[in-house]
Structure 1
Amino acid sequence: MMSRRKLALGAVILILISSIVTGVLTIKISEYINVKKGDRVIISREDYNKLMKVQKMYEIKDLIKKRYIGESDDQALMDGAIKGMVATLGDRYSAYLTPEENAELQINLSGTYGGVGLLVTIDPEDMMITVVKPFKDSPGMKAGILPGDKLVKIDGKEVSYKNYDLAVNMLRGEKGTQVTVTIYREGEEDLLEFTLVRDIIVQDTIEHRMLKDGIGYISISSFDQNTAEEFTKGLEALMENNELKALVVDVRNNPGGYLHICTQIADLLLPEALIVYTEDKEGNRDEKWSDEESIGLPIAVLVNEMSASASEILAGAIQDNSAGFVIGTQTYGKGSVQAIIDFKDGSTLKLTTERYYTPNGKSIDGVGVTPDVQVELPKELLKKLDIKDEEDTQLQKAIEMLERVIS
């Protein structure tokens, strides 16, 4: 029989082992879960360190609530802090939208919406919101707003690249409602003010026609949901009588749009080839390829300084794969991809996460696509809404080069 002394010693050892195991388990569990003890919560060291990094923000928030002489709103304070964090990136394409801003910004991607019919972008030279063009028969066009006009205020609120998304949304609204835009126009001493009545804007992104000698023409104003389908129909119409020998694709003043729509159009124009690839921060690469079927015709792509993003991808793919000529002026240089990250409360973070590269590995971000043949449009035509084919120097150069190929 085991002695009392041995039994006592065994019990002590068992208690010690149990205590050690329980302590280890408690430490390990607390690394992954919060343990509540009365009014206190035990958290992991990692979470504790995170909290310490933002402690000052909460201290300032508390000071504002306690000592600021005016009124303050908790949610507005937090939203402001988040917006400030994103702003420090210095990236005009990254932005945080509150639930209210995000809800207002949702666009009907069918191509129909209430607005004033102005296509705008950010001018990389002065960072001002600039009118690319007013849509045909739109309130903006009827009021006399011209390409190159700079938006300074909308309904009295100053606008710039910093609140670009909000500015675009402010132009939209229900049919019949008014919006006042304040504009800077080069050559005018004073700012111009236009009060516009919103209307339903139906935006056709594709126009096509036959030029001469079997040369077809398709313009793409943006890469929206229906653009690839519209492009296909336009191309089929031009090829209907087997007269199409060459094609001009016009992406001047096209600010871009959906990548997958752009690659669908490139697939129609290119044989089997790399269209574009993207790379993220870790170097992960995603490639987009065309299949072996193509129209098999000489192509000229028209570009200018307002051709951006998807427009540059299409031009770069045609150029790098030697499938045609790129004619015009240096493009905008928007070669980054934004991820849209939605949160449960309805807010959204738009964050630059990848860059585009042309098939030959060129980054267009901040650089743009350099045309094979550089041709400037005469200065007096830059603000003209309806340019005739015979005065369009860029189009005429494209026709000239294509005629050489097909003759």
Structure 2
Amino acid sequence: MDSRKLSALLSSLVSQVILLLFLFPSSSSTPHSLSSDSNSQENLFPLLQHFLCSQEILTSLVLSISRKRKRTLFPDPESEPTHEDRYSPPREVRLTRSPGSFKTCFNMTSTTFEWLSGLLEPLLECRDPVGSPLNLSAELRLGIGLYRLANGSNYSDIATRFGVPESVTRFCAKQLCRVLCTNFRFWVAFPSQDELKSVSNSFEELTGLPNCCGVIDCARFKIVKDDETWKEDSIAVQIVVDSSSRILSIVAGFRGDKPDSTVLKLSTLHKDIEEGRVLNSNPVYVNGAAVNQYLVGNGGYPLLPWLIVPYEDFLPGSCEEKFNAAHRFLRVPALKAIASLKNWGVLSKPIREEVKSAVAFIGACSILHNVLLMREDDSALCDCSGDDYDHQFHGEFRNLEDDSKKGFEIRRALAAKAAEFHDSRSMQSD
């Protein structure tokens, strides 16, 4: 029953009880029951106060339970906003809970949304603007923020859609990014040694190449700085992924005109590897060569003992050609992850934010990308064709091979291993 109707019913019942007490005072065989009318009315006041107090307590309890059970739903993305939508205060609005509607609105299923809402609820509700707290549920805050990330809509359109002031949409979007990037950045943390063993095993099953601990790549996202010039620029984002396209490491905020190799050398990942903090387990021996843990990257990176790039020159049918084929196959998860990030509407077009906010959007989308993989929710995951991968692979060689003799030895040993794996698979298929 509606809380207001129930409160009215309780009030009516109490009023009737009071009226009955006045009209039909209780009789008693004791002498005290034969007191004067004024004394009888005075004896009624404590009883009246008790009923009135009970009414207030019960009504408050009912209203409290009603508020706790109330769920915030979201507008159907297929419906057009009405005139009232543009000017009304925050309200409960309905969303058609079909898979298509949730995917369109939030890039995730309704079950993933509800799981994420429950996880983030205490964090989304604990940091309202000073002096002007928001009377919004965690679900509505999450919905507004996710709508910005999933669709890339401007704040004015989101405000119209959800029936809230534009300032509220800005706050909710940036609050969601802040909560994710601050409290859940461990979802994109570089794996421990035990976890890396599982990562390398997965890659080895695909290509026969042992000790590969990830694929490194660099993406660019356009940004339009929110100033008088509105000059378009880009941000370089370096990622490392595993065989499932899960992001293991991400560094964002570099100028987009910097080459991949420069971004790598400026990143903390490069420093951590060079100083032995990561990729530091004992090597495995492949065809007589000690192969340390390594990443694979495109031809825009230098050849290093821990970073293996493809051959620029090779003969048809050679070990080098077979290695390049395996190497290209290993790179597919990174290209898929980048394409999936660009499936988020806010990253698929120039980001009209300051650099700091744009980096936060990229970080939040990366965390949500891993959440979707963890939840086996493919709503925002991209499944590019092989032609797309080949297109991104060719033409990236820049003659940046390092003079490291060890890097050449490791790649030569891996090329022989790739050829063995290729030939064994060919024999099995025959």
TM-score (norm 1): 0.24
Q: Which has the larger radius of gyration?
A: 2
In terms of fraction of residues, the more helix-rich structure is 2
Greater RCO, CA 8 A, separation 6+: 2
- Which structure features the higher share of strand residues? 1
